[in-house]
Chain A
Amino acid sequence: MSKLLKGRTGDWEIVIGLEIHAQSITKAKLFSGASTAFGAEPNTQVSLVDAAMPGMLPVLNEESVRQAVRSGLALNSKINLHSVFARKNYFYPDLPQGYQISQFESPIVGEGELEIDLADGEVVTVGIERLHLEQDAGKSLHDQHPTKTYIDLNRSGITLMEIVSKPDMRSSEEAVEYATKVRSILRYIDTCDGNMQEGSLRCDANVSVRRPGEALGTRCEIKNLNSFRYLRQAIDHEAVRQVEILEDGGKIAQETRLYDTAKGETRSMRSKEEAHDYRYFPDPDLLPIDLSEEFVARMKATLPELPDARKERFVTAYALSPYDASVLVSERDTADYFETVAAGRDSKLAANWVISDLFGRLNKLTIPVSASPVSAEALGELIDLISDQTISGRIAKDVFSEMFESGEGAKAIVEKKGLRQVTDEGAIRGQVQSVIDDNPDKVADYRGGNDKLVGWFMGQVMKASQGKANPGMVNKLLREMLSA
């Protein structure tokens, strides 16, 4: 599949790098003891450190360090045993310190790489430049008052892990796959909940275009993309915009842009030439972080099986297709659910039920698998009933619907409604006979060579048995008795 963008004057290559801001899962903030819980009343989770009162000193949260190291390890990246906090200086009302405490020259995590799978089966390696720790800013509300801005500092000081990729992506699809993978990994290891609606995960995209094989073009940074759909749209629109400018003989201005979700286009944020002089310097209030190899090894030992390893195991141990395996491992809860269902059962049958039937329903109602009305054990019980021929696959669909709506168990529903499959040959033979007796014309047609009619007879018998007759036996008896 070509990823090149066709312009009027030839092909263009899109070059994308992503910065992902992931909120760490910690109870307290990076440098203060105030809570990080989402959705509290304004300014009720603000310590005097977060409000930057004079004389307040930051004290580093050990959990933020643990989470950053675990994330770095899970992202196949190098852990820097020595790292330093720096001040990034700029003025904005939701940044009360007048600087953001971040890491600059010496981040806690260095280079690494991730492999991403594209829909057409291609595998692309994306380099990771770094992961560093920094404080989140507060929230500005511009729509509460005609001439005023309202500020809530609850988010101020929450731990962010900024994960910076190398400019290794060549299409919006690759960018979305990469971001999805980072999110999936962080959720697996419980370092970020990945909730994009609540802003726990946000992306900035650096986009430029060039003629294939030429040097990098001038890039624009699109800020604060809070869904993968917007990430894809913003990159696609930005690339077309840049190609149009270049083909008209213009030049790209390096600038920060916003994606206007209503209009579906990017536009320039008012760019002040000097606004980006952050004048980083080491924060004198904070000593460097020095980690031991032993600490890093201990963090490594806390990591669960990661999505890639799990996917490979699903393919080999459960004989699933790579595609089914990747669907199942994308979320830890989903993979756990599947493994419970598959334990001691036909794994392909289990995968089909989980992917088609369960996910189909859950997605329609946007319920996460963790809140599924049908537990993994309950679905397993249903599959057992199919495997031991208590019910047919067809009836099982109805039973599943009932389970999903009422929360009742499969066995209970089958007993209550009398759905047990009829495998008594005599009983089925009787039903087949009466359908044959009632339809002499059709029987004559069939015997005259219209083989397709067997399907019609099948339907009649199944209807007569209210779907309970064993379909295999009906089929066998029908052919035998029609030919007699």
Chain B
Amino acid sequence: MSLDKDTVRRIAMLARIKVPEADLETMAGELNNILGWIEQLDEVDTDGVEPMTSVSDFRPELRADVVNDGGDAERALANAPENANGFFVVPKVID
């Protein structure tokens, strides 16, 4: 797999990361190195092996349906760059 400049531009846009046009080429090269490294995994024969999302057989305890968190708007808003009347405040977005 190989990424070209256009793909990198698109990925950057989807991730909302601003990458200057001049850096796209370099970044494509770096990403391709990383992908090449990961592609070593293709050497392993996985025929007949179920895809899995975790190597762990462990199944955690689920949470009981009990309210034991929240209730502190100030704490939730503590890191917000801007807030008013208990709301987070952001630049206007209308879709």
Residues of chain A whose beta carbon lies under 8 Å from any beta carbon of chain B: 26-28, 31-35, 41-51, 53, 59-65, 84, 89, 91-93, 140-142, 144-153, 269-270, 274, 277, 279, 282, 284, 287-288, 290
- A35 contacts B60, C-beta separation under 8 Å: no
Q: Tell me, rounded to whole Å, the shortest Cβ–Cβ distance linking A271 to chain B.
A: 10
Can you list 10 residue pairs at the A/B interface with Cβ under 8 Å? A33-B68, A34-B70, A48-B75, A61-B62, A62-B63, A63-B64, A142-B92, A145-B84, A274-B13, A287-B53
Q: Are A62 and B62 in contact (CB under 8 A)?
A: yes
CA of A284 to CA of B54 in the docked complex: distance in angstroms? Answer: 8
For A62, the closest partner residue in chain B by CB is B62
Closest to B50 in A: A82
Residue in B60, B62, B70, B90 whose CB lies within 8 Å of A93: B90
Number of interface residues of B (CB under 8 A): 39
**With a CB–CB cut-off of 8 A, which chain A residues contact B70?**
32-35, 44-47, 50
Given contacts A61-B62, A62-B63, A287-B60, contact A151 B90 (CB under 8 A): yes
Binding site for A on B (CB under 8 A): 10, 13-14, 16, 53-54, 56, 58-60, 62-73, 75-77, 79, 82, 84-95
Residues of A within 8 A of B90 (CB): 93, 148-149, 151
Closest 4 CB pairs of A and B: A34-B70, A63-B65, A33-B69, A62-B62
Q: How far is the CB of A193 from chain B (nearest CB, A)?
A: 16
Question: Which one, B68, B72, B93, contacts A140 given CB within 8 A?
Answer: B93
Let me know if A141 and B87 touch, CB within 8 A.
Answer: yes
Q: Is the CB of A44 within 8 A of B86?
A: yes
Give the distance in Å from the alpha carbon of A91 to the alpha carbon of B77 in the complex. 19
The answer to whether residues A42 and B87 also contact, given A34-B69, A142-B94, A290-B59 and a CB cut-off of 8 A, is: yes
Min CB–CB distance A202 → chain B (angstroms)? 16
Question: Measured between alpha carbons, how far is A92 from B94 in the docked complex, in Å?
Answer: 10
Knowing A27-B66, A91-B16, A148-B91, the reply to whether A274 touches B10 (Cβ < 8 A) is: yes
Q: Contact at A41–B86, with CB atoms within 8 Å?
A: yes
* Least Cβ–Cβ distance between B75 and chain A, in angstroms: 8
The distance from the CB of B93 to the nearest CB of chain A, in whole angstroms, is 5
Distance of B17 from chain A, by nearest CB (Å): 11
Given contacts A60-B62, A84-B53, contact A33 B67 (CB under 8 A): yes
Q: Which residues of B contact A141 (CB under 8 A)?
A: 87
Kindly list chain B residues whose C-beta atoms are within 8 Å of the C-beta of A34: 67, 69-71
Which residues of chain B come closer than 8 Å to A146, judged between CB atoms? 92
Complex CA gap A274/B6 in Å reads: 13
B86 contacts A42, CB within 8 Å?
A: yes
User: Within the assembled complex, what's the spacing in Å between the Cα atoms of A287 and B84?
Assistant: 38
**Of all chain B residues, which has the CB nearest A35?**
B67
A65: nearest chain-B partner, CB-CB:
B62
A149 touches B91 (CB 8 A): yes
Most chain A CB atoms below 10 A, which of B58, B67, B82: B67
**Contacting residues, chain B, for A65 (C-beta < 8 A):** 62
Q: Which one, B73, B76, B89, contacts A149 given CB within 8 A?
A: B89
Q: Which residues of A contact B60 (CB under 8 A)?
A: 59-60, 287
**Closest chain B residue to A43 by CB distance?**
B73
Closest residue of A by beta carbon distance from B54: A287
Roughly how many angstroms separate A146 CA and B53 CA in the complex, as a whole number?
A: 45
Q: B86's closest neighbor in chain A, by CB? A: A42
Residue of B13, B16, B70, B75 with most chain A CB atoms under a 10 A cut-off: B70
